[in-house]
Amino acid sequence: MALNNIKSDRTSQSADGLDKVKPGQRPFSRINFWMMGGCLALIVLGFLLMSGGGSPDESFNPEVFSTRRIVVGPLLSFLGFLLMAFAILWTPGKKKNG
């Protein structure tokens, strides 16, 4: 009996027998998901900037060495991956009532 009371204090069971998780027990908040979505968009944008058409024939194409493909694209992708780790680890602070 005592074990049953302890379990009911932490979670509540629904009709199908699954435990409902309270908002304070969830690993990610809505802000985390928005941050991860923004980071994913930054990564995709970086990869799109790195892509481009090649040369149609065997001739040399100097566009391969453009600043957009060598500097800007990889930098945006790297920042996206770096910020993604931050977005996963970040926990929102609790509001102080005062």
**53-96 per-position pLDDT tens digit:** 666 777 877 788 889 999 999 999 999 999 999 999 988 777 67
Long-range pairs for 56-62: beta carbons < 8 A, 24 or more residues apart: none
Rounded distance between C-alpha atoms, residue 54 and residue 65, angstroms: 12
In sequence order, the 6+-apart residues with CB closer than 8 A to the CB of 91 are: 29
Rounded distance between C-alpha atoms, residue 37 and residue 43, angstroms: 10
Q: pTM of whole model > 0.75?
A: no
| pLDDT score recorded for residue 69 | 92
Confidence bin at 27 (pLDDT 50/70/90): confident
